[in-house]
A and B are shown apart, each in its own frame.
Chain A
Amino acid sequence: MNIVTKPYVNAFLNFARDKPEVLCLTADLTSSCEVDQFREQYPTRFFSMGMTEQHTLSFCGGLAMEGFRPFFHTFSVFLYRRPYDQLINSIAYSNRQVRLMGFLPGITTPGGITHQAIEDIAVLRSVPNMTLLETGDATEVETVLEVADAVSGPVYVRVLRGLVPRLFETPFRFNQLRTLSEGQDVLVLSAGITTEEAMRASKALAAAGIGVTHLHASTLKPFAKQQFLDAVADIKHGIVTIENHTVVGGLGSIIAEILAEEGIGKKLIRLGLQDTFAHGASRPYLMKKYGLDAMALVAAIEQLLNQSLGITENNLSAVRLEEVHSVAKAEAL
């Protein structure tokens, strides 16, 4: 598997180059959000706002009213927690074409709970007019911008930065679940960084004779309900969702809502942060501790099947080594 360095840098440069109405705004985290080269190359379209998130969200609303399409880049937590009122009143209610580019989704930072956006999907899903996208690999980072900018309203994107694996060969497609494997025993839905874990688990499960349909979700709102219903129809033992997010209100809840509304009596296990904050530590450590990794997924499937499969960490081979302290920027900076 290929690992790409900072795919967002060129993604934004290439996307924004020929679109004079696209503006780039930051809140003192320009290089941390990989738009420093854009600042160098297109200084008249770059606006440094300093630490003024409440003001900046309303400011973006004003820019959007006049035909510009502002892309406001900062850490996800700062996009929706402190300026939530402004997000609602200056952007979402009025359906402004503002693009909120959120970095450090979920536990992808050792910066601790202040920097870990663990409930962003839950909160923003409940806001009318919002579109929610989540990148899961380098290809999706490279191709999400065109998709986001085609939305006639506000968009929030969970963006991956630094060293990003390439898992997919086809570009991001709006409101389409990717089918990564097919099988009838269990349905797995993953999003963001958990997809890589789920892919490793799927391979091990297939080797153990378990049929897994694995879907990757990159559009969380709206959600591809029909595609999900088609996939779940013949599933025998149940569904597992796994997300870099709390299990309350995110992907797991989306699926729970659909299952209940459609009267589908299949068991659901939701993996993710179990209604808890995490803390400051490395990604692999946090994923293991809080049950967001391939082993947790295997254990959940064993629970659905009511059988032990004897799959070990060693079986879950080709673990990607974390390079936080070498070339990549330390996560919280």
Chain B
Amino acid sequence: MWQNEVKRVALGIRRRVFEHTIKNKGGYLSQACSAADFLATLYVKTLKLGPSIAPPIPKPFAGSPSANNPDSFTGAGYHGAKAPELDRFFISPAHYALVIYAALVEIGRMAPEGLEMFNQDGGSVEMIGAEHSPGMEVTTGSLAQGLSMAAGVALARKLKQEPGRVWVFLSDGELQEGQTWEAFQAIRHYNLNNLAIIIDLNEQQCDGAMAEVLDLGNAAEKLIAFGAYVMEVDGHDIEAVQKAGEIRPSKGALVILAKTNPCQGMDYLEQRRPKLHYVRFQSQQQAQTLEAAVRKQLEFSDR
């Protein structure tokens, strides 16, 4: 049953990001907590992707793209080959890279060695996902550009009459940028209903809780006003996410607003609120306490 596989993958994502965070004395742990369940659902069940065509162990960095560099590559191959009937999947908040890499390992699209290469000199597995990093196809380290690029791909696919969908993953912080709203206007105007968007509504950003930094207000209302077909779901309810992902609106792009908890699966992290964006340790003691608590919870999670 697909649900069991999704749960296995989601737990695996949390475990891998946790192990990585302990080993490297810091990491994007809360992003794994908020996104693991719906990312697992997408990768296991919702997305129509072909098998990976990229090397299981990522290649070293081969230079930036240019007319003179035939060796440059992107991480798109980990999502399979492009074909008219297959989906595409763009990751807009490149800071979720660690979570994406963990997901790719869990579903067998990348070898575990790939995760070991995280942030290594000369490697392509960058801390903030670069275009050449596994699972990445475009440059999204500067936020709120992924949606516009995905929209361009969506228009192109419509013009070529390709049936596959264009999925793009956004973080809620990106709704602060003006470009996001420019994109939704264009998406509505050109009825890019082959575009499907999932937003991690974990209500956190770099400075802390979004409500304190720059309050988002009612995201669903805003998106609906801009012409999106909005489905609000509990981002940890894998069946609800999957069901929402099956909707193909005739008018408007599908936007799944996944309401999530940035401490889901690691209750101990609640103590860290509101500083959850990047989890680091001030002391050995702190690290050990967190490690013990979370490890205990993760070990018991699949019983």
Which residues of A pack against B, CB within 8 Å? 47, 49-50, 52, 54-68, 85-86, 89-90, 93-95, 128-129, 151-153
- Let me know if A55 and B179 touch, CB within 8 A: yes
B138, CB-defined interface residue at 8 Å:
yes
CB distance from A120 to the nearest CB of B (A): 21
- Let me know if A58 and B64 touch, CB within 8 A: no
Proximity bits, B228-246, A CB within 8 Å = 1, else 0: 0000000000000000000
- Let me know if B151 and A62 touch, CB within 8 A: yes
- Known: A63-B152, A90-B145; 11 extra A-B contacts, CB below 8 A, are A50-B189, A54-B179, A55-B182, A58-B145, A59-B152, A61-B152, A62-B151, A63-B155, A66-B152, A66-B156, A89-B141
Contacts of B179 in A (CB 8 A): 54-55, 58, 86
Task: For the complex, give the distance between the alpha carbons of A294 and B301 in Å.
Answer: 80
CB distance from B140 to the nearest CB of A (A): 8
Contacts of B152 in A (CB 8 A): 58-66
Contacts of A86 in B (CB 8 A): 145, 148, 179
Task: For the complex, give the distance between the alpha carbons of A55 and B159 in Å.
Answer: 19
Which residues of B pack against A, CB within 8 Å? 64-67, 131, 137-142, 145, 148-157, 159-160, 178-179, 182-183, 185-186, 189-190
- Let me know if A65 and B153 touch, CB within 8 A: yes
Contacts of A56 in B (CB 8 A): 148, 182, 186
Contacts of B139 in A (CB 8 A): 89-90, 93-94
Partner of B64, one of A63, A65, A93: A93
Task: For the complex, give the distance between the alpha carbons of A67 and B155 in Å.
Answer: 12
Given contacts A59-B149, A129-B67, contact A54 B182 (CB under 8 A): yes
Given contacts A90-B145, A93-B131, contact A61 B186 (CB under 8 A): no
- Let me know if B186 and A59 touch, CB within 8 A: yes
- Let me know if A153 and B159 touch, CB within 8 A: no
CB distance from A21 to the nearest CB of B (A): 10
Contacts of A66 in B (CB 8 A): 152-153, 156-157, 160
**Please, could you name 28 A-B residue pairs with CB atoms under 8 Å apart, sorted by A?**
A49-B186, A50-B185, A52-B182, A52-B185, A54-B178, A55-B151, A55-B179, A56-B148, A57-B148, A58-B148, A58-B152, A59-B148, A59-B149, A59-B183, A61-B149, A61-B152, A62-B148, A62-B149, A62-B150, A62-B154, A66-B152, A66-B153, A66-B156, A86-B145, A89-B140, A90-B139, A94-B131, A95-B67
- Let me know if B65 and A129 touch, CB within 8 A: yes
Task: For the complex, give the distance between the alpha carbons of A58 and B159 in Å.
Answer: 18
CB distance from B120 to the nearest CB of A (A): 21
CB distance from B77 to the nearest CB of A (A): 14
Task: For the complex, give the distance between the alpha carbons of A47 and B142 in Å.
Answer: 26
**Chain B residue with Cβ nearest A54:** B179
Contacts of B151 in A (CB 8 A): 55, 59, 62
Partner of A61, one of B138, B159, B160, B183: B138
Task: For the complex, give the distance between the alpha carbons of A193 and B179 in Å.
Answer: 35
Contacts of A62 in B (CB 8 A): 138, 148-156
**Chain A residue with Cβ nearest B153:** A62
Task: For the complex, give the distance between the alpha carbons of A50 and B182 in Å.
Answer: 9
- Let me know if B142 and A93 touch, CB within 8 A: no
Interface centre among B148, B155, B183 (most CB of A within 10 A): B148
- Let me know if A90 and B131 touch, CB within 8 A: no
**Chain B residue with Cβ nearest A64:** B152
**Chain A residue with Cβ nearest B67:** A152
Task: For the complex, give the distance between the alpha carbons of A38 and B154 in Å.
Answer: 23
Partner of B149, one of A47, A52, A58, A68: A58
- Let me know if A55 and B148 touch, CB within 8 A: yes
CB distance from A130 to the nearest CB of B (A): 11
Task: For the complex, give the distance between the alpha carbons of A311 and B131 in Å.
Answer: 58
Contacts of A151 in B (CB 8 A): 67
Contacts of B145 in A (CB 8 A): 58, 85-86, 89-90
Task: For the complex, give the distance between the alpha carbons of A153 and B68 in Å.
Answer: 10
Contacts of A61 in B (CB 8 A): 138, 148-149, 152
CB distance from B84 to the nearest CB of A (A): 11
CB distance from A80 to the nearest CB of B (A): 16
CB distance from A17 to the nearest CB of B (A): 18
Task: For the complex, give the distance between the alpha carbons of A68 and B67 in Å.
Answer: 17
